Every structure is written in structure tokens, then in C-alpha cells.
Amino acid sequence: MDFSHFLPRLDAARRAELERQLRAVIRPRRLDRMEQVLARRTRRLTVLFEDLYDPHNASAVMRSAECFGVQDIHVVERERRFRPHTRVVRGAARWLTVLRYGSIDEAAAALRAGGYALVATTVDPASPPIDAVSLDRPLAVCFGTEEVGLSPAALAAADLRVHVPMVGFTESLNVSVTAALCLRALTERLRAGAGWELDAVERDALRLCWLMQEGAKARALTVKLLQEWASPC
């Protein structure tokens, strides 16, 4: 269950109390691990995928994003609703923030409002290689369907087109492999600089979201407290 939409309804005192009680039912070693991961999380880089109809591939993209510390996934669902494949995503989905859109125009507008440049991945060798992309502004790396790639509308909305250099006869990689290679290349360069980390407010909100979902005891305690606070006196 996703409890994140309840957070805006809680004042600072109740957020603090919820976190205090949740910490009491979660092992210290797990709490330490959360802090380690939070310290490496970024929103300077994000992923957008458009109508990935194979749940295995879409879930693998999510898993790669989580592994490389990318927090947000933007999903354009023009024709199909995305549902992660449990065995492929391996629990990564619950650590990520997934935002859904009905069109590429809607997604592009939201990302641009957040200061992102849209980077379309293509198989065009005339486009710049992924390693050459400037990191001067936040990037949303866009991936398309397995058969045809990004739609014409997505390509038109992009600020830049890039490719993953290859030297074999095969002209393209599986989309999940492409995503992993792009995210690896970009996050390595990103962390060599400054300003990629979450700010304190983002870390606090994300930490609380993670605590609320950390095991059956934490989820049950969260439900209990939210129900108590929602009940009239």
C-alpha cells in the first residue's frame, strides 16, 4: 500500500510522532541502511518511459533506476497501464516514486516545469553519445517501446537526442539494457560533481515514506495511527 498521499494531511507534530513510533519497530541495522541509501539518492536525473508494453522490460528499467539511486520514474500510459512484474522488479518499486501521465505532452510539461531537459534515447549514430550529455541542468532520460522506440511526439518534445555507441552488427540493445547503461554512465558523472543530492526536506519526506512501508509491523502501525488521527474526537 502506498501511504505517501497521506503525508500532506499530517502536520509536523504528527509526522514526527509517526516516525518515532515506526523507528521503534524497525531494526537499527535497517534504519542505518536507509540512511546510506538516502545519502546517495538523486532527483537531478530521472527516467521517463513511454508505453513499455513488456512488464519484464519496464520492471527491469525500474530496478536499474533504483540500483543507481534515481528516485523518480515518469510513466506515459497512452495505451496500457503499467504494472511492475514482481519477480523482475525485485521489490525496487516500493522505494521509487512513480508518476503517471496520459500523454507525452502532459509528461513533458510537468518535467519542464520541474526544470528538466528531456533526453531521447535513439539508435541514430549521428546523435551525440550518452557520455557527451551536459549535466548542467536536471535530465529526464526517455525510453520508448521495444519495437519502435519513442513516438514521434516524444522525439519532437525532446531537447536532445542521444545514442549508446555500439560496434557490432546489431543496431540496438534491449530497452532495459540501454537504460542500465545510460543510468550508469550519467550517475557516475553526476556524483563526481556537486548539487545532485536530495535536500533535507526531500530526504525527510522520503525517509518517512520508506519507514511506513518497511514490513508488516510498520504498515500495520501506520494504518492504526492514520485511522486514529482521522477519527473525530
Contact 137, 115 (CB under 8 A): yes
Which residues, in sequence order, are CB contacts of 102 under 8 Å at separation 6+?
A: 76, 77, 78
Joined together, the cell numbers standing for residue 228 give 486514529
Query: Residue 87 has what pLDDT?
Result: 52
Report the alpha-carbon distance of residue 167 to residue 7 in Å, rounded. Answer: 49
pLDDT digits (tens, 9 = 90+) for 98-117: 999 999 999 999 999 999 99
The ranges assigned to domains in the chain are 45-191, 199-225
**pLDDT interval class at 52 (50, 70, 90):** confident
Contact 199, 158 (CB under 8 A): no
Burial class (CB in 10 A: 0-12, 13-18, 19+), 6: middle
Q: Tell me: domain 45-191, CATH 3.40.1280.10, correct?
A: yes
Query: Residue 13 has what pLDDT?
Result: 95
For residues 147-173, one letter each, b for 16 or more C-beta atoms within 10 angstroms of the residue's C-beta and e for the rest, the string is eebbbeebbebbeebbbbeeeeeeeee
Report the alpha-carbon distance of residue 110 to residue 64 in Å, rounded. Answer: 23
pTM (two decimals): 0.90
pLDDT digits (tens, 9 = 90+) for 147-198: 778 999 999 999 999 999 988 988 788 888 999 999 999 999 999 999 999 9
